[in-house]
Amino acid sequence: MIASIVKEIDLRKDYLSEKALSSIYFGGGTPSLLNKKDLDQIFNALGSIYTWDDSTEITLEANPDDLSTTNLTDFKDAGINRLSIGIQSFDQADLTFMNRAHNAQEAEKSIKLAQDIGFENISSDLIYGSPTTSNEIWQANIDKMISFGIPHISAYCLTVEEGTALHHFVSTGKSKPVDDVKASQQFDILIKRLKQSGYDHYEISNFGKPTRYATHNTNYWMGIPYLGLGPAAHSFDGQSTRSWNIAHNPKYISRINENTLPIEHEVLTEKEKYNEFVLIRLRTKWGIDIETLNKSFAQFADYFNENMAQFISDGKVIEQDEAFILTNAGKHLADRISMELFVE
């Protein structure tokens, strides 16, 4: 797999015109299983084409139960300068319900180990809305994250995806469904507590200290081109074309060995680009800037303004700094508001 990714880097060396990288992100699958030799091979291949410096954000996603003093040291020595640790909860009942491989003790230990090794730039995620998560447990989870000094926190409401074990348990009555009222309360608790502790709510699900916003995520929201490498990885040319690799490891390796890119493409229509612009930008603290709306999507501007009026009137959106921005009340309904603004 590593050899194939290295080869794909060369095969796609002309995809990005900008060779100075602001972000390198190891995500999807379980990149915390990589060792220093694997990472060195990938970095060497990237370094033959691209450049980066100390300001470049280099992130690796990690499961708490995968982390040890040995591999954390290897990650740091290889050049990783940011970790994204999948905590989800510090409560054992929550973790058991979510069928997580790690336990509550490992959740805490993984953060302490990373900090002891010298990782300061850490992002961790939490899940709210679970039937096992009371408001008190949720408050304790947030406070625990703050006490560790984690500079970036992502928080997501539990969703029941069709085809999962949780969906089966809920549909058969073995588990309670997600309580929307409780989930809404916990979202409010999250916003209030993290604001008190100096975090900026810069995207619906993301909170960061002022200098610790995720470069990788922000680039995506702002429509900056990116190259995805490996099975199922997605790429975007910054204009109209998205592409993605086949989501099948053996087939991916086989195609790469044949010097053939295992890629599918889609070209976005103007309507699709407008809808995506609305969906993504409205979720951020910067909102939908009026200049871009009028310049890039002039044909939809009147439609947008007509449909936006109701949300401004209802106090869900405000016009501020030449942009339309969600209020706290609007953040609860971000997806619904976006859908009302979409062009079918």
Per-residue pLDDT tens over the stretch 39-48:
999 999 999 9
Give the per-residue pLDDT at 167: 57
Percent of the chain with pLDDT over 90: 91
Give the per-residue pLDDT at 226: 97
Per-residue pLDDT tens over the stretch 233-266:
999 999 999 999 999 999 999 999 999 999 999 9
Cβ(26)–Cβ(43) below 8 Å: no
- Cα 60 from Cα 83, distance rounded (Å): 5
The alpha helices in 158-197, defined as continuous H runs, are 165-171, 180-196
- Cα 68 from Cα 81, distance rounded (Å): 16
Give the per-residue pLDDT at 98: 86
Give the per-residue pLDDT at 170: 64
Give the per-residue pLDDT at 163: 67
Domain extents in the chain: 18-221, 270-341
CATH class of 18-221: alpha beta
Helix or strand (DSSP H, E) at 39: helix 36-47
| Residue ranges in the chain whose pLDDT is less than 70 | 160-161, 163-171, 173-174, 177
Check residue 232 and give left, alpha or beta (phi > 0: left; psi -120 to 50: alpha): left
pTM > 0.85: yes or no: yes
- Cα 158 from Cα 130, distance rounded (Å): 6
How would you label 85-119 residue by residue, b for 16+ Cβ within 10 Å and e otherwise? bbbbbbbeebbebeebebebebbebbbebbbebeb
Secondary structure of 246-287 as H, E, C letters: CCCHHHHHHHHHCCCCCEEEEECCHHHHHHHHHHHHHCECCC
Provide CATH code, domain 270-341. 1.10.10.920
Beta-bridge mates of residue 288: 324
